[in-house]
Amino acid sequence: MHEHRDYQGAKMGMWLFLFTEILLFGGLFVLYAVTLGRFPIEFHEASKLLDVTMGTTNTVVLITSSLFAALAVTALQKGNRRLAEVFIGLTVALACCFLVIKYFEWSHKFHMGIYPGSADIADWAPGKQAFFALYYTMTGLHGVHVLIGMALFGWVWWLIRAGKCTSDHYVALENGGLYWHLVDLVWIFLFPLYYLIT
Amino acid sequence: MTVDAGFMTPGDKSWVREWLFTIDHKRIGMLYLWCIMAFFAVGVFLGLLMRLELFWPGKDLIGPQEYNAVFTLHGVIMVFLVVIPSIPAAFGNIFLPLQLGAEDVAFPRLNTFSFWLYVIGGGTALVSLFTGGGAPDTGWTFYVPFSSVTTTNVSMAVAGVFILGFSSILTGLNFIVTIHRLRAPGLSWARLPLFAWSLYATAWIQVLATPILSITVVLIIIERLLGMGIFDPARGGDPILYQHLFWIYSHPAVYIMILPAMGVISDIIPVFCRKSIFGYKTIVGSSLAIAFAGSLVWAHHMFVSGMSDTAVMVFSFLTFVVAVPSAVKVFNWLSTMYKGSIRPEPPLIFALGFIFLFAMGGITGLVLGSAGTDMHVHDTYFVVGHFHYVIFGGTGFGMFAAIHYWFPKMYGRMYDRRQAIISALLLVVGLNGLYFPMYLLGLAGMPRRYYDYLPQYTQLHQFSTYGSWITLIGLGLMCYNLIRSRYRGEPAGRNPWAAATLEWTLPSPPPTHNFDQEPVVTHGPYEFGEVQDDA
Ligand code: HEM
Ligand SMILES: [Cu+2]
ipTM of the complex model: 0.92
Contacts of B242 in chain A (CB under 8 A): none
- How confident is the model over B75-109, as pLDDT tens digits? 999 999 999 999 999 999 999 999 999 999 999 99
Ligand 1 cavity residues, CB under 6 Å? B 44, 47-48, 50-51, 71-72, 74-75, 78-79, 82-83, 139-140, 384, 388, 391-392, 396, 434, 448-449, 468, 471
State the DSSP H helix or E strand holding residue B413, giving kind and residue range, or none if neither: strand B413-414
**B145 cis-preceded (ω within 30 degrees of 0):** yes
| CB-CB under 8 Å, A127 with B236 | yes
Q: Which of B207, B179, B20 is nearest to B92 (CA)?
A: B179
Q: Residue of the nearest CA to atom 31 in ligand 1?
A: B78
Q: Which residues, other chains included, contact A67 with Cβ-Cβ below 8 Å and sequence gap of 6+?
A: none
User: With an 8 Å Cβ cutoff, is B207 touching chain A?
Assistant: yes
Q: In terms of DSSP H, where are the helices of A50-170?
A: 52-77, 81-111, 126-161
Q: Which residues, other chains included, contact A22 with Cβ-Cβ below 8 Å and sequence gap of 6+?
A: A182, A186
Q: Cα separation of B44 and B488, whole Å?
A: 27
| CB-CB under 8 Å, A13 with B177 | yes
- How confident is the model over B487-534, as pLDDT tens digits? 999 998 899 999 999 999 999 899 998 998 889 998 889 888 777 655
Q: Which residues, other chains included, contact A144 with Cβ-Cβ below 8 Å and sequence gap of 6+?
A: none
What's the one-letter identity of residue B176? I
Contacts of B169 in chain A (CB under 8 A): 17, 20
- How confident is the model over B4-53, as pLDDT tens digits? 778 888 887 888 888 888 889 999 999 999 999 999 999 999 999 999 99
Q: Which of B237, B241, B181 is nearest to B216 (CA)?
A: B241
Phi, psi of A81 (to 5 degrees): -65, -45
DSSP-assigned states of every residue in B246-302? HHHHHHHHHHHHHHHHHHHHHHHHHHHHTSPPTTHHHHHHHHHHHHHHGGG-GGGG-
Q: Cα separation of B34 and A157, whole Å?
A: 39
For B208, B391, B415, the CA distances from B26, given in Å and listed in that order, are 26, 25, 20
| CB-CB under 8 Å, B241 with A8 | no
Q: Residue of the nearest CA to atom 8 in ligand 1?
A: B47
| CB-CB under 8 Å, B228 with A133 | yes
Beta strands at B413-414 and B490-491: parallel, antiparallel or unpaired: antiparallel
**Spatial contact of B372 and B312, defined as CB atoms under 8 Å apart:** no
Under 8 Å CB pairs connecting chains A and B tally to 109
- How confident is the model over B387-416, as pLDDT tens digits? 999 999 999 999 999 999 999 999 999 999
Instruction: Report the mean per-residue pLDDT for chain B.
Output: 92
Ligand 1 centroid vs B388 CA: distance in angstroms?
7
Q: Which residues of chain A have pLDDT under 70?
A: 1-4
Q: Which of A144, B505, B103, B213 is nearest to B111 (CA)?
A: B103
> How many CA atoms, within 13 angstroms, populate the side-chain half-sphere of residue B280?
18
Can you give the pLDDT at residue B237? 87
- How confident is the model over B315-344, as pLDDT tens digits? 999 999 888 998 999 999 999 999 889 999
Q: Cα separation of B415 and B484, whole Å?
A: 8
Q: Cα separation of A115 and A106, whole Å?
A: 9
Strand-pair partners of B180: none
- How confident is the model over B194-235, as pLDDT tens digits? 999 999 999 999 999 899 999 999 999 999 998 888 898 888
| CB-CB under 8 Å, A16 with B177 | yes
Residue from B72, B74, B147, B380 to probe ligand 1 pocket by mutation (most atoms less than 8 Å from CB): B74
What's the one-letter identity of residue B484? R
Q: Residue of the nearest CA to atom 28 in ligand 1?
A: B78
**Radius of gyration in angstroms for the set of CA atoms belonging to chain B, rounded to a whole number:** 23
Angle ∠(B405,B411,B414) on CA atoms, nearest 5: 60
